[in-house]
Amino acid sequence: MRSRVSRYGMGVLGVAAAASLVLTGCSSGGGESAADGPVTLNYTIWDQNQEPALREAADAFEAQNENVTVDITVIPSADYWTKIQTQLSAGSGPDVFWVNGPNFQLYASNDQLAALDDTGIDAGDYPDSLIDLYSYDGALYGAPKDFDTIGVYYNKALFDKAGLEYPAAGWTWDDFVTAAEKISDPAAGVYGTAAAPYGQMTYYNTVFQAGGEVLTDDTTKSGMDTPEAAEGVQLWVDLIEKGASPTLQQLADTWPGDTFSSGKMGMFFDGSWAAGTYSSAEAIKDVVGVAPLPAGPVSDTSVIHGLANAASAKSKNVEWAKKLAVFLSGEEGAEIQAKTATVIPAFNGTQQAWVDALPTIDAQVFLDEVANATPLPISKNTTAWMPIEEKYMKEILSGQTDTETGLAAMAKEIDAKLAEE
């Protein structure tokens, strides 16, 4: 269905590639109208499961624009940013491509993206958080395509077996931990949950719920060296130590989403993007439910993120590329994507179709979380400090270092990277 990490950690541009982005350019551009002859646009994405819906949307764009053809290319998520950078450097990059929060500012600040403000796109048609995410120096460079929040997928059969009530709005960390412990039977390969080392899906949410922050508001410092952040991370460390979650090595060997899909896990923190997969997984499709995140000491917030369609500033058909990006993220494109249940479309008023396409679970949970959601933490060069965070989180979750010591060392190194931005 997707890369086996959150969409935040998915395929981020490596540090070496990020450095080269500053130094390299693309072929010179300039607009070209279909009236001047046939126009072919390349649209590059990383999720083959979304290709059918996007093909339908591209067909609609072609039908409305004579002499314009849209070709779709899928690059697997693990290779996506490396190949995009290589193509752009060679002057052969896509006309329109997906961007995510961690990579957006780097590409926008290096003149790789075309501003969309002159396309007629209305910022009021999208959640404010996504317009803010894809704006740089006062201009909009990404047309919000979709968004996601995090919920708790749970197995009703395992809850019934443990004699537990199903999780629901108002439940707490204590309820979550208690359920995870009661459901777990490591000898039988059954676990209550998964302390997956993915910020967007797990520990970012609990850090925020404990009153902490991942980055300071001005993004000049890490916020992970605080008691609140430590409390949010320690929750997951304790679950592993109690045997209520697989070990970090087990999580690396087997994607926890697969364990959940096979009926061997009681609860799994995952994004709205996974709703279609879990609600149709053969082993659990009749027993899967979804609940809002449990409330921590301060809040029950969920991380919110989303992708955008961006037009290459160096496209040979830049004006048509901008039109395609805006169309794919517009109302018609959003409605086509919504009915497939793959992602929640960003265009306001089209999300209900996504909920309706998932009748066996309470998909409304993910929409309800938007009002109280916390934006995904990013900086100008998120990709420079993410490997540092990943390194220390793995050390913490594997027990190689204690939580406070690991987070303090992590914050010190991240602060040095942020100072370079």
pLDDT digits (tens, 9 = 90+) for 53-81: 999 999 999 999 999 999 999 999 999 99
Helix (H), strand (E) at residue 69? strand 68-74
Q: Give me the residue spans of the domains in the chain.
A: 15-148+305-375, 150-301+381-419
pLDDT for the residue 46: 97
Write out pLDDT tens, residues 6-33: 444 444 444 434 444 543 433 333 334 4
Q: Is the dihedral of CA 264, 268, 272, 274 positive or negative?
A: negative
The percent of residues above 70 in pLDDT, for the chain, comes to 91
pLDDT band at 395; cut points 50, 70, 90: very high
pLDDT for the residue 120: 95
Q: Is the dihedral of CA 144, 103, 141, 29 positive or negative?
A: negative
pLDDT band at 36; cut points 50, 70, 90: low
Q: Which CATH number fits domain 150-301+381-419: 3.30.1360.120, 3.40.190.10, 3.30.160.60, 3.40.50.970?
A: 3.40.190.10
- Nearest CA to 154 among 299, 241, 261? 261
Q: Is the dihedral of CA 397, 400, 403, 405 positive or negative?
A: negative
Average pLDDT score over the chain: 92
pLDDT for the residue 101: 94
What gap in Å lies between CA 309 and CA 322, rounded to an integer? 9
pLDDT for the residue 232: 98
Answer yes or no: is pLDDT of 1 > 60: no
pLDDT for the residue 292: 98
pLDDT for the residue 31: 39
Answer yes or no: is pLDDT of 87 > 80: yes
Domain 15-148+305-375 and domain 150-301+381-419, same fold? Reply is: yes
- As a whole number, mean pLDDT of residues 201-205 equals 98
pLDDT for the residue 35: 60
- As a whole number, mean pLDDT of residues 170-188 equals 98
pLDDT for the residue 342: 85
Q: Which CATH number fits domain 15-148+305-375: 3.40.50.1100, 3.40.190.10, 3.30.750.24, 3.40.50.720?
A: 3.40.190.10
Helix (H), strand (E) at residue 250? helix 248-253
User: How many helices and strands in the chain, by DSSP H and E?
Assistant: 18, 14
Pairing mode, if any, of strands 303-304 and 374-375?
parallel
Residue count of the chain: 421
Answer yes or no: is pLDDT of 228 > 50: yes
Answer yes or no: is pLDDT of 157 > 70: yes
